C-alpha cells in the first residue's frame, strides 16, 4: 500500500511537471507510469483466475508429541501461467504452519505435505487457506480464502503405566486385578469348550451354534476399585517452565492414570481445582476418557483454593471401595488429615507429589533449603499416616516412578 501511494504521488508530480514545461521526456515518463500501473493492476486481477486450491489435515485431535500432517494441492486450470503465488494457513498453533511461494505453468498442478510437531496441549484454530498473488513491482495484491477453518485439540501426552497398580478393593466380589472365578458374575470375558460339571446357564449359545460344539462362558471378578482423581492446580505452587513445569507434569500424570484406569474398565471421576472447581462425574468407557482428556487439554494453573478445602468439599462423592488419587505440587500438609479420614471409610488413597524444589530450585540458598525442608516435612507427614506417595520430578519417566 505504501509503495503504491508513493508511485501514484510520483506520477502526479511528473504529470504536473510535464504539462507545466511541455518536455517530451516528462510525457514519456507519464505514459510509462500509466503503462506500468495499468499492467500491474491487470496482472494482479487475473493472477487468481482459474486457480483451484485445497488442503486436508490428518486429524482433528492428537497428543503432545504427535505430528500433524497437512496436505496442500493447488492447480492452474487456465492457459496463462501464474508466476508468483503464496500459500499459507493462518493458525494459532505454536510455531505456525509453514507457507510456500511457488509458480505454476499453464494447466499444471502442485501438491506437497508438511509435518508439524504438536508441542503444546490446548485448543488451536486453523483458519481457511490463504492464496495470495501480486504484481512484480509490489503495487497491488490479491488474496482469496479457500476451505473452512478447523479447531485442533491437542491432548496431554499419555505415558504407559504397565506396572502401576491401584490398592485392592475392600468390598466382596471385587479384585484389584483380573481374576478368574467359578461363580457367575456380570463380567464374562472368554469362552472355552464345555467340560463335565459345567452348568447349563453358562453355555454361550452363539459360539456353540457357530462351532457346532458346546462352549461355555468364563467369568472374572469385577474390578470395582474405581478411581477419583484430584488434580491440584494452585497457582501459588507452580514452578518450572514448558513441558517440565509442575503444571504440565501434573496434567500428564493425571491423564496417564485416568487412561490406565479406564483401560482396566474402572469408573473414573475427576476434580480439577483451577480457577473454578470442575468436576467430571465418575463413569467408564471411551466417552469418559474423551471427556477427561478434553478437560485436561484446556485447564491452566490459575487456582487459588487450598487443596484441603477441595477435598473436604468433594469427600461425599467417594464411596467404599474407591481410590482417591491426589496429584499436587503443594507442600502444605493440611490436605493430609482429610485424606487420612478416608481410610476408615474403606477408601484407598494415593498421593502423587511434585517436588517444587526439583522443578525450579531458587538461586537463594536459604530459600532452596526452606523448600527442601517443606518437602521432607510433607513426606514425613504422609508416612506418619501411612499414605502411599510417589515423588515426581522434571524429566523423569512416570512409569518408573509409579512402579516403585
**Each residue of 257-307: pLDDT tens digit?**
999 999 888 889 999 987 788 899 999 889 999 999 999 999 988 888 888
Query: Above 80 in pLDDT, residue 381?
Result: yes
Query: Above 90 in pLDDT, residue 38?
Result: no
Q: Report the pLDDT value the prediction gives residue 173, as an integer from 0 to 100.
A: 44
The DSSP result for 126-139, as a single string, is EPPEEEEEE-TTSS
Q: Report the pLDDT value the prediction gives residue 14, as an integer from 0 to 100.
A: 64
Residue 11 grid coordinates: 506520477
The DSSP result for 286-326, as a single string, is HHHHHHHHHHHHH--S-B-S-HHHHHHHHGGG--TT-EEEE
Q: Kindly report the CATH number that applies to the domain delimited by 51-155.
A: 2.60.40.10
* Fold of the 227-402 domain: Rossmann fold (3.40.50)
To the nearest whole percent, how much of the chain has pLDDT over 90?
24
Query: Above 70 in pLDDT, residue 364?
Result: no
Query: Above 60 in pLDDT, residue 182?
Result: no
Query: 246-263 vs 285-298: helix axis angle to the nearest 10?
Result: 180
Residues of the chain with CATH 2.60.40.10: 51-155
Query: Above 60 in pLDDT, residue 175?
Result: no
Please write the tens of the pLDDT for every residue from 69-128: 999 999 998 888 888 889 988 999 988 898 888 888 888 999 999 999 999 999 999 999
Average pLDDT on 145-154 reads 89
Exposure string (b/e) for 275-302, b if CB count within 10 Å is 16 or more?
A: eeeeebebeeeeebbebbbebbbebebe
Average pLDDT on 49-59 reads 89
Mean pLDDT of the chain: 82
Residues of the chain with CATH 3.40.50.410: 227-402
Query: Above 90 in pLDDT, residue 211?
Result: no
More confident residue, 108 or 37: 108
Residue 24 grid coordinates: 517530451
Query: Above 90 in pLDDT, residue 156?
Result: yes
The residue among 318, 229, 326, 319 whose CA lies nearest residue 269 is 229
Query: Above 70 in pLDDT, residue 221?
Result: no
Residue 290 grid coordinates: 474423551
Q: Report the pLDDT value the prediction gives residue 81, as an integer from 0 to 100.
A: 87
Q: Report the pLDDT value the prediction gives residue 169, as an integer from 0 to 100.
A: 46
Amino acid at each position: 500500500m505504501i509503495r503504491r501511494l508513493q508511485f501514484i504521488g510520483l506520477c502526479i508530480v511528473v504529470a504536473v511537471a510535464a504539462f507545466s514545461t511541455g518536455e517530451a521526456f516528462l510525457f514519456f515518463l507519464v505514459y510509462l507510469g500509466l503503462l506500468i500501473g495499468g499492467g500491474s493492476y491487470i496482472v494482479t486481477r487475473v493472477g487468481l483466475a482459474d486457480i483451484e486450491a485445497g488442503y486436508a489435515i490428518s486429524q482433528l485431535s492428537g497428543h503432545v508429541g504427535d505430528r500433524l500432517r497437512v496436505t496442500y494441492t493447488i492447480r492452474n486450470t487456465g492457459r496463462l501461467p501464474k508466476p508468483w503465488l503464496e500459500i499459507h494457513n493462518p493458525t494459532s498453533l505454536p510455531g505456525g504452519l509453514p507457507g510456500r511461494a511457488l509458480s505454476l505453468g499453464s494447466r499444471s498442478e502442485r501438491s506437497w505435505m508438511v509435518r508439524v510437531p504438536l508441542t503444546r496441549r490446548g485448543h488451536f484454530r486453523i483458519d481457511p487457506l490463504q492464496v495470495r498473488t501480486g504484481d512484480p513491482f509490489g503495487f497491488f495484491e490479491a488474496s482469496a480464502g479457500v476451505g473452512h477453518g478447523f479447531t485442533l485439540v491437542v491432548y496431554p501426552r499419555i505415558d504407559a503405566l504397565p506396572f502401576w497398580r491401584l490398592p485392592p478393593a475392600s468390598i466382596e466380589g471385587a479384585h484389584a486385578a483380573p481374576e478368574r472365578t467359578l461363580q457367575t458374575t456380570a463380567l464374562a470375558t472368554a469362552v472355552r469348550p464345555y467340560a463335565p460339571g459345567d452348568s447349563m446357564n453358562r453355555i454361550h449359545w452363539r459360539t456353540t451354534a457357530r462351532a457346532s460344539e458346546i462352549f461355555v462362558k468364563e467369568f472374572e471378578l469385577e474390578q470395582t476399585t474405581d478411581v477419583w482423581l484430584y488434580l491440584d492446580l494452585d497457582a501459588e505452587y507452580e514452578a518450572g517452565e514448558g513441558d517440565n513445569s509442575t503444571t504440565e507434569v501434573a496434567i500428564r500424570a493425571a491423564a496417564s492414570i485416568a487412561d490406565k484406569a479406564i483401560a482396566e474398565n474402572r469408573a473414573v471421576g475427576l476434580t480439577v481445582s483451577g480457577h473454578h472447581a470442575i468436576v467430571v462425574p465418575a463413569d467408564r468407557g471411551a466417552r469418559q476418557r474423551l471427556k477427561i482428556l478434553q478437560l485436561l487439554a484446556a485447564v491452566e494453573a490459575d487456582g487459588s483454593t487450598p487443596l484441603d478445602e477441595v477435598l473436604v468439599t468433594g469427600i461425599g462423592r467417594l464411596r467404599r471401595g474407591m481410590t482417591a488419587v491426589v496429584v499436587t505440587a503443594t507442600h502444605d500438609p493440611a490436605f493430609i488429615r482429610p485424606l487420612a479420614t478416608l481410610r476408615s471409610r474403606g477408601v484407598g488413597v494415593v498421593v502423587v507429589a511434585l517436588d517444587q524444589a526439583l522443578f525450579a530450585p531458587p538461586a537463594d540458598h536459604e530459600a532452596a533449603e526452606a523448600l527442601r525442608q517443606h518437602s521432607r516435612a510433607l513426606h514425613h507427614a504422609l508416612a506418619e499416616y501411612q499414605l502411599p506417595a510417589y515423588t515426581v520430578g522434571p524429566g523423569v519417566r512416570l512409569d518408573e516412578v509409579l512402579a516403585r
